[in-house]
Structure 1
Amino acid sequence: MRMIATGDSFIARRIPENDKRAKNIKEWMNGADVRFTNLEITTHHKEGYPSPFSGGTWAMAEPSVLDDLTYYGFNLYNWATNHTMDYLQGGLLATERELDARGLVHAGAGRTLAAAAEPRYIDTVQGRVALIGATSTFHEASLAGDPTPHIKGRPGINPLRYEEVYYVTKSEMETLKQISNNTDIDANEMLNRLEGFSVEGGQDEFLFSGKLFKSADRSYRVRRPVKQDIERLTASIQAARRQADYVIVSLHSHEMEGMDKNKPADFLQDAARACIDAGAHTIFGHGPHVVRGVELYQGRPIFYSLGNFIFQNDSVSYLPSDFYHKYGLRTDANVADGYDIRSDYGRKGLGVNPNVWESVIAKLIWNGDDLQSIELQPINLGFKQARYQKGWPELTDNVEVLQRIKELSEPFGTEIVVADNKAIVVCT
């Protein structure tokens, strides 16, 4: 079984005709049985209402961009991301319609929570493969919901939520309580608890500005996956393991350690390992728009982030009034005005971070349940190009991104050999 895995495909433009970059990548991926990418854009004709919140950019493109992803050969798609609900339920349903019309196998979002969480399958000559998708980065209104006997379900994403607890010293706790008493910062929440609209907390905890604090001998933070979401994920994996030869889990996560995008959050590591324990063969991670390390857990690979495959967030053609208001512009402004202000005229943001524009494509080869090899092929997305030209992937011999992944993987005990302009993950 040969698998290809890429990171985020934030595709907002059509592939230029006779583009050699696309042709070379298509040929490099040719021969794989399954080819995965993360669809990080909604695809529709301005359907649905723009959400009052977004994943950063209200991500919308013409449905024809799906034909370009099909040109590359992708046949497995996650679409549980922080952008899935940029155009609310209407945008989700329209995107689902366009994916289904092309016969594309997609997971992570749907008309109900059960649909968003269920495995989706593809049959190949080398075996049947299941894909399960989830995201930890989303607005709470994006959650899918299941129906009851009297109320229909809610379209949305399959969530991977996490619980967050801040531990502080006794003196720090007293300071928080004093600030809370003086400012009534959590008065509404406290009243909701008294009136039964919120769940009452434990006696040893204190809620401050919506965050849970507990006393300890030092200050630190702990995040853990929500039990309900892990149980739903592992149940899907266990079902898929009995219905397919291989199980892929896709996890979209922007959360990090501190301000370091290169390091996955603690809860994400716990969740990924729990998925492997439940029977998943591999975890394909994405979200922060930079690469992260690779872990071999129980002999199964966890890619904490494969970075970007296509990244064109400065090429979205239409944006709602919320975007212009956010940057102090009138609604009769155009997208070029908005992108200028957001980037401080090209001086800040993702566009000036070279790590955003270097990434990899992973090639995995399996013999039954045994992982035979992992190869990482570097790609370049045009860092030095104009913002309206950036974002198309191109095979490159730049090993800097490979060295970065090698170093980021060392804390997980993963050995990576960089040679001949590619990286090999040592699997034995």
Structure 2
Amino acid sequence: MGRADAGKRMSFVATGDSFITRRLPKVESVDFQKLAAVISQAEFRFTNLEVTTHRFEGFPFAFSGGTWAIAPPEVLLDLKAFGFNIMSWANNHTMDYGYGGLEATRRHLNEYGIPHAGVGLNLAEASQPAYLDCPSGRVALIAVTSTFHESWVAGQQRPDMAGRPGVNPLRYTTTYQLPEEELEQLAAIAAKLPINAEHRLSVKEGFAVEHNDGSVRFGQYLFAPGEAAGCLTSPLEKDWMRVRRAIAEARRQSDYVLISVHSHEMYGEDKNKAATFLELFSRQCIDEGADAVIGHGPHVLRGIEIYKNRPIFYSLGNFIFQNETVSHLPSDFYEKYGLGQEHGVADAFDTRTQNNTKGLGVNPHVWESVLPYWTIEDGALKEIVLYPVELGFGQPRYQRGWPVLSEKISILEHLQELSEPYGTAITIDGQVGRIQLG
């Protein structure tokens, strides 16, 4: 199998989301040079591209990831200037500008010579690994997203029918649990209401399948018996099997396999905690031979788990976050906030944030992240070094969002707390964090 030879050493750097909508102002600045130097010390250098890059070739889709994300294609050159040499772009903004925006972004990634994963003109292309040939070995990247509109899923092609452009999906099932007595009460309530009428008719007409596993349907939700009230989420089996096949392929075609997961879903109401299905999926990937799982999506840090001597970064937060400096927004955005044709993007963002008094802009954790650097040597994971990063919390929205290396120990202390439930000990050494391994 395609595993690294004895004596080989591979180095990795990864970030979370690069929501970049402005051109890099100064590549000669000291802050940029310091950060680019850290990134460039690794051979595999990853970021998640969370914007579409084109010149409005597509039209605004009826549903967006929150802000219709568009940037000039040249921002890809700025990301390369930071040092990134491979990207994922399966996320909740991939289809913000429909199929035209997707195909234009794909074209520009190819034109700039950037290997990319997670999106394609059909499901086979969206699912396939992207490969990066490095001096010390070949690395495969497989990318999925669990956060997307259902219409964004790439379609499987057939001999007699073309596939559909879209993202490589990681769907999940959700089952709520109730004690037996409360479950019976819920079933009695459902029987008195037409809440399941549409589903029952779909079953009768053959458009849906009834579950006969003892669960109770209440509208779009399923409830199962349990000792206490709770919620269980699990990766959808057919999506997991597709990822599993991709890992098996990549293991035989490369020395290292990395998984990118864009997931906003959380445990309960805490954005800092990953949903159960994401934890299960990440560990399954390692079980099947992946060398790391790189999570991003919720725009905040989540804990780090070392599972079977391999890192799982449940979320690396933001690397670049410029969601409020897009150049244009569709009518849908303005109408949502009661604005008209006479208003512009500044009015739209002032209204959404109530003049920057609510939303992501006032959460300091959104504007803090870490940049992990790690090595695999002789097949074993060695030390992970964590560089804290700041993105300009408190600055005007047209200035904040660029990353700089930080001296704030509180960022590392926060990550220590998030990682403790996974049994991961992070020591603080000067201005960096370290996870000591074998």
Q: Same fold (TM over 0.5)?
A: yes
Matched, 1:226 2:242: no
Distance 1:177 1:325, change over 3 A: farther
**3-state DSSP class of the match of 2:283?**
helix
Question: Which residue pairs with 1:4 in the alignment?
Answer: 13
1:25 correspondence with 2:35: yes
How many residues were matched structurally? 428
Is the aligned partner of 1:68 residue 2:78? yes
Paired letter, 1:116 = A
Equivalent runs, 1:200-279 vs 2, <5 Å: 200-279=210-289
CA, structure 1 residues 30+203, in 2 after alignment: closer, same or farther (shift >3 Å)?
Answer: closer
For 1:352, which of 359, 362, 381 is the aligned residue?
Answer: 362
**TM-score with structure 2 setting the length:** 0.95
Question: How far off is 1:175 after superposition?
Answer: 4.0
Q: How does 1:51-200 map to 2 (within 5 A)?
A: 51-200=61-210
Amino acid across the alignment from 1:382: G
SS at match of 1:403: helix
Show the counterpart of 1:38.
Answer: 48
Q: Mapping of 1:311-350 within 5 angstroms? A: 311-350=321-360
Shift of 1:178: 4.5
Shift of 1:161: 0.8
- Alpha-carbon distance change, 325 to 178 in structure 1, aligned in 2, over 3 angstroms: farther
CA drift of 1:3 comes to 0.8
Specify every segment of 5 or more residues in structure 2 that has no aligned partner in the other structure, as ranges.
1-9
TM-score of the pair, normalised by structure 1? 0.97
1:18-74 residue CA offsets vs partner (Å, 9 max, x unmatched): 443222211222231111001011111112221111111111111111110011110
Structure 1 residue runs of 5 or longer lacking an equivalent are: none
Q: CA deviation at 1:179?
A: 4.2
Distance of 2:163 and 2:120 partners within structure 1: 10
Displacement over 4 Å in runs of 4+: none
Query: In structure 2, the residue corresponding to 1:330 is in which secondary structure?
Result: coil
Structure-2 separation of matches of 1:355 and 1:383: 9
Matched-pair contact (CA < 8 Å) for 1:414–1:426? no
Instruction: Give the secondary structure class of the aligned counterpart of 2:223.
Output: strand
Aligned residue number for residue 297 of structure 1:
307
Contact 1:325 1:331 in 2 (8 A): no
Q: Distance in 2 between matches of 1:111 and 1:185?
A: 38
Tell me, what secondary structure is at the counterpart of 1:313?
Answer: coil
Task: Please state how far the C-alpha of 1:182 moved relative to its aligned partner.
Answer: 4.4
Alignment equivalent of 1:365, drawn from 358, 375, 379: 375
Q: Is the 8 A contact 2:382 2:436 kept in 1?
A: no
Counterpart in 2 of 1:419? 429
Contact 1:13-1:312 within 8 A present in 2 as well? yes
How far does the alpha carbon of each residue in 1:55-98 deviate from its partner, in whole angstroms, 9 at most, with x for none?
A: 11111111111110011110110101011111122111110001
Structure 1's 88 and 405: CA in aligned 2 closer, same or farther, altered over 3 A? same
CA distance in 2, matches of 1:186, 1:324: 35
C-alpha displacement of 1:268? 0.3
**1:122–1:195 CA distance, 2 compared to 1 (3 A):** same
| CA offsets 1:140-183 (integer angstroms, 9 cap, x no match) | 11100111122100001111111100111344334434443444
Deviation at 1:193, TM superposition (A): 1.3
Alignment of 1:396 with 2:409, yes or no, is no
- Rounded to whole Å, the distance in 1 between the matches of 2:269 and 2:92 is 19
